[in-house]
A and B are shown apart, each in its own frame.
Chain A
Amino acid sequence: MTQQDSYYYVPSPSYWPLVGALALLLLASGAVLWVNGYSSGPLTVSAGFAVLIFMMAGWFRTVIRESEGGLYNKRVDSSFRWAMSWFIFSEVMFFAAFFGALFYARVLSIPDLASADSQLLWPHFSAIWPNAGPGFKGSFSPMEAMGIPAINTLLLLSSGATLTWAHWGLMKSRRTQLVLGLILTIALGVLFITLQASEYSHAYSEMNLKLTTGIYGTTFFMLTGFHGLHVTIGVTMLTVMLFRVLAGHFKPDHHFAFEAVAWYWHFVDVVWLLLFVVVYWL
């Protein structure tokens, strides 16, 4: 290929972007149908997911082949680094919106609903946290920080360490260390998700703590839920990395895919620390 000789790799024409657009059309229109109670919704969403997974598998396969085929020089590698950094920044801002909602509720809207201005409307409401709002009937228990959440903090922090250990293995060509480190990281991630799921189930069945439990339930489940989704995506990506390692991919000086996943994993880790402090603990 002529591009090999040039200073930058420009990919040849590809159908994957079009397939990706179709996937999102199906996903979005299916979701709209679903939340509005149309029976065609779930099917359309499933079709969208199928197309999305097909697209991701195909697109990533192409990228992996190009990478392993030596088409990506240092300059392409540095493009990937910039792009992944900015992508993670966009994720930070997405979480910031939900953290902002939590701070707003605790600092502004709850005290305001208990203030003299609102006394006529909500006479017996007091601004304590956790709080499900003046209209909430019944009682619920908030999630304690020092049970499963503390264990999960330990798990995620350890997983960050095992992943770095695996990365050292990759850079020093110690294959066993790399594979073992990756497997440990994945196992810790899966354990985290399992514990999170059992925490959710406990909240729903024993504590009357649900997504619908006022602003506390809302912010608790939306923040930890989006975080859990990111852990799941991270575990999926780590698993792909494990399979690539087993297939003999990556060299000590050429493995940005691995590093990108590690960056993402550490980002998810940091978000968890914030969650642990402001959602569970304070």
Chain B
Amino acid sequence: METTAMGHAQAHDHGHGPTGLRRWLTTTNHKDIGTMYLWFSFAMFIVGGIMALLIRAELFEPGLQFLEPERYNQIVTLHGLIMVFGAIMPAFVGFANWMIPLQIGASDMAFGRLNNWSFWLLIPASVLLVTSLFVPGGAAGVGWTLYPPLSIQMGMGMDLAIFSVHILGISSILGSINIITTILNLRAPGMTMMKMPMFAWTWLITAFLIIAVMPVFAGAVTMLLTDRHFGTSFFSAAGGGDPVLFQHVFWFFGHPEVYIVILPGFGIISQVIPAFSRKPLFGYASMVYATGSIAVLSFFVWGHHMFTSGMPVTGQLFYMYATMLIAVPTGVKVFNWIATMWRGALTFETPMLFALGFIFLFTMGGFSGLVLAMTAVDVQMHNTYYVVAHFHYTMVAGALFSAFAAVYYWLPKWTGHMYKETLGKVHFWLTMIFFNMTFFVQHFLGLAGMPRRIPDYALQFADFNRISSIGAFGLGLSQLLFLYIVISCIKGGPKAAAKPWDGAEGLEWDVPSPAPYHTWEIQPQVK
């Protein structure tokens, strides 16, 4: 993409505003806010990760070791909520904040103050969630899906989770409004929609999904709250309601939510693969349409989470076929990524490794999703470790791997330094090996019938659980290496060029590395 105005030509500073702590508390700068989002996300990744390790420690051998069953369920619930809403979503919002204005040639996000509010709202939300562990009765122990009637019976930890979800919802809706407005209104002259980088495209569609479904989740937890404390009958059969109603409302939110978690990752992969294949993305337009199709279809498949909740056969068939239909646009994407690499001049730097790991493992997660989409099979597998294995292949090997790819890909732009390539590769291989060690065996556990969300298990599951637990600790410890690589890259390292990857494309590589505090104060002309 050629530009007439180079970013560094206008990098004159007019005051950075406040410094020190005040800078971070009051900032309206998209780069500052993006940085805060990313560090917050990493902190929550550690918190949620420690919870995962507690779970795996408990499951290392049969019998009860470290955790009371109630506490175990609370940890499982908070692990899910924190990883989805505290770690993955804020990570992608962090990338969006940093990169979308740079990629579309805008001086900042459309609403600087609102942007900062979206970030700071995450703090009360996470405080409420984490402190719920320490209130009488402990945290919500119902699983991240918060199903009644159990969630109606929980103690005040459940109320903390409900209000935390409300605040997280406000945060992500405001953040999404900001991102959509930025993309629709602040693109540089000449940057038509179909010239936008894929990351911006996928975020545009993700933001639409967030605005469409987070309010529905807010509605669902509001119904829980009023059923718990104000005597309403949404989920009470005696009053004419139905606990299954919650599942419908929840999964109307929940299924688009899983695409919210993965679509920005698709965007990242769609930029990393061409950069290290030194070829333009194969089938750009079909990528855009595939992303849109996935988003539309996501509203019509929620019933596949409820095959065992009681549903007419017609309903089961509808949800089964609709779910399988999603494999088509997803297949288009995987095909396009592979076709991009076809006859490319490939090199395998760390971002590329994570992107390749993503394609391989996410496709496996997609396949196990197809297995689960078949109603007759799902009735056997529902609530087993097969489901746990499936969604960790999409959430960890999908969303998290793409986040790692993004960090390594854009770190030179953020810090002005190159990271330590060898260590990055070591981080990839450790993550890749330990991830599969943790989660691959869980397919077998699930097929053999081990239920999820239970702190104990029958003896025949012991070996695979032991392998999984060792893998989990390896996976967790490997991330300390990631922290070290990032910190050492911030502190120093070889100077990064404005465009450190020779195959990379996009406006973000036209500004110097590190990107100055203000960029694109004069918009570039895109040809």
Contacts and interface: CB of A to CB of B under 8 A. Distances in A.
Interface stretch (A109-117, A186-194, A199-207, A271-279): A109-117
Interface in A137-182: none
Contacts of A21: 117, 120-121, 123-124
A14 B216 contact: no
Given A104-B245, A113-B240, A215-B233, A90 B113 contact: no
A118 B231 CA distance: 23
Interface stretch (B164-172, B342-350, B384-392, B405-413): B164-172
B299 to A, nearest CB: 11
Nearest to A129: B240
Given A13-B22, A36-B159, A132 B117 contact: no
B112 A8 contact: no
B160 A214 contact: no
B113 A94 contact: no
18 contacts: A7-B107, A7-B522, A10-B108, A14-B113, A21-B124, A28-B124, A28-B128, A83-B110, A83-B181, A91-B215, A101-B219, A105-B242, A108-B242, A132-B240, A134-B237, A136-B240, A211-B230, A214-B233
A32 B160 contact: yes
Interface string B412-444: 000000000000000000000000000000000
Q: Which 8 A-B pairs have the closest CB atoms?
A: A135-B238, A97-B219, A133-B240, A215-B240, A25-B124, A17-B117, A212-B231, A13-B26
A42 interface: no
Contacts of B160: 29, 32
Interface stretch (A74-82, A233-241, A246-254, A255-263): A74-82
A245 interface: no
Interface in B206-224: 211-216, 218-220, 223
A18 B33 CA distance: 13
A268 interface: no
A69 interface: no
Contact of A132 (B127, B177, B212, B239): B239
Contact of A29 (B27, B128, B225, B229): B128
A101 B234 contact: yes
Nearest to B229: A35
A218 B177 contact: no
B394 interface: no
A59 B240 contact: no
B279 interface: no
Interface residues of B, number: 78
B163 A32 contact: yes
Contacts of B113: 11, 14, 16-17, 59
Interface in A1-60: 2, 6-8, 10-18, 20-22, 24-25, 28-29, 31-32, 35-36, 59
A70 interface: no
Contacts of A17: 26, 113-114, 116-117, 119-120
A90 B181 contact: no
Task: Give the secondary structure class of A's interface.
Answer: helix
B527 interface: no
B28 A131 contact: no
Given A2-B14, A20-B117, A32-B156, A215 B234 contact: yes
Interface string A121-135: 000000000011111
A267 interface: no
Given A24-B121, A135-B238, A215-B239, A14 B215 contact: no
A218 B232 contact: yes
A214 B124 contact: no
B180 interface: yes
Contact of A101 (B28, B107, B231, B245): B245
A79 B28 contact: no
B28 A14 contact: yes
B314 interface: no
A94 B238 contact: no
A89 interface: yes
A137 to B, nearest CB: 10
Interface string B51-71: 000000000000000000000
Contacts of A31: 159, 163
A24 B241 contact: no
B214 A90 contact: yes
Given A7-B523, A18-B120, A105-B240, A79 B181 contact: yes
B328 interface: no
B202 to A, nearest CB: 17
Nearest to B14: A2
B3 interface: no
Contact of B213 (A24, A93, A134): A93
